[in-house]
Amino acid sequence: MLIETPYPAQLTDKERRCRQLLPQVPEALWLPSVRGGTADFRNKAKLVVGGRPGSVTLGILGRDGEGIDLRDCLIQEPGIRHAIPQLAAFIEATGLAPYDVPRRRGELKFVHLTLAPSGDLMLRFVTRTEQALHVLRKALPDLLERVPRAAVVSVNLLPEHKAVLEGEREELLLGSSLEMELGDVSLHLRPQSFFQTNTAVARALYAQAADWVAAEGPDSIWDLYCGVGGFALNCAAAARTGAAAMPRVLGVEISESAVESASRSAADAGIAAEFVAADATAYALGAPAEETPHTVIVNPPRRGIGAELAAWIERAPAHRVIYSSCNPESLAADLAAMPSWRVRGARVFDMFPHTRHLEVMVLLERRV
């Protein structure tokens, strides 16, 4: 954590790092960075349940495996901070024992909270056994009395002793998805779907991509690694308000749950976008050349798009690429593998203040 470093210095360091890793971007093409804030900015919390019955902690584990309480951490949005003490009291009332990592016993492992701009909450309890699921289902009325803004409540089963945040099985107790309102588009977020951790910066990220797309007026867009459809739907909404005809929009994402969420959001917004559950690289490599879109948007995980997809973009007859990256090192490697493309715009989005992590987005066009 860099929280002791003054925020302007944090942002300057991140900008300097991006410029050093991406020397092919002229200084004039760097847009002003989007600031992430110093407090009250994080829309989700993934809290370890520690301590013991009668003295529950919600936060992280220390090196000795004991819980360290972080319920007053100021980086969380106020709606999350206000809910955490009520959640702790609820956990105490259930009698469920926090999972003891060193001794490998207990029930509750994590509580995940996500806050929508409306103030509604998604609450996810990660437990070890079915017994804890039954207890939490029976105690749902008490939970809703303590946390009335809970709109989605689920239990995730993680019986194995593994260093992961959740298991594969998810049981819904209340609702189905949390609505993340982002201007003209609301995104439906299901319990196991990914969404950016800073809502204000996510809005700016999607808006920047939509501006770049609208300026070109493409007839077709692919959003690879589309998640719940943030880029695809915001770009389509921006095109709909302009003079140009609505482009054909396709999103590709390996998570079926995320694709279901994106399809629902598109239907609610009246946007004719198609979403496919598939591996992004495999889909692009298997598509006929004549289906290659005008604009390709990629938003990969930290490892980047990799050699195969970079090679496909290098030879594909697309006109523009928007690459949003949470890892400037892998972005630099991927751009080096695509020499036929040049950067026409770049921007740093400080999605993760007080850490070394950031989001950087570049606009690419084919060299003439």
Give the residue numbers annotated as catalytic, written as ranges. 326
Q: If we measure between CA atoms, which residue out of 121, 250, 220, 107 comes closest to residue 178?
A: 121
Please state, in angstroms and rounded to a whole number, the distance separating the CA atoms of residues 307 and 331.
12
Please state, in angstroms and rounded to a whole number, the distance separating the CA atoms of residues 335 and 150.
43
Where do the H-state alpha helices sit in 117-167?
130-138, 140-146
Beta bridge partners of residue 275, listed in sequence order: 251
Please state, in angstroms and rounded to a whole number, the distance separating the CA atoms of residues 231 and 224.
10
Whether residue 131 is annotated as binding a ligand: the answer is no
Q: Is 193 helix (H, G, I), strand (E, B) or coil?
A: coil
- The residues, ordered by sequence, that sit 6+ positions from 84 with a Cβ below 8 Å of its Cβ are 45, 47, 58, 71, 76, 113
Whether residue 27 is annotated as binding a ligand: the answer is no
Tokens 């806050």 locate to 115
Q: Residue 34: exposed, middle, or buried by beta-carbon count in 10 A (0-12, 13-18, 19+)?
A: buried
CA dihedral for 127, 132, 134, 136, sign (positive or negative): negative
Please state, in angstroms and rounded to a whole number, the distance separating the CA atoms of residues 152 and 222.
30
Do residues 187 and 177 lie in contact, with contact meaning Cβ atoms separated by under 8 Å? no
Whether residue 15 is annotated as binding a ligand: the answer is no
Q: Is 14 helix (H, G, I), strand (E, B) or coil?
A: helix
Whether residue 253 is annotated as binding a ligand: the answer is yes
Known binding residues for S-adenosyl-L-methionine are 196, 225, 253, 299
Known binding residues are 196, 225, 253, 299
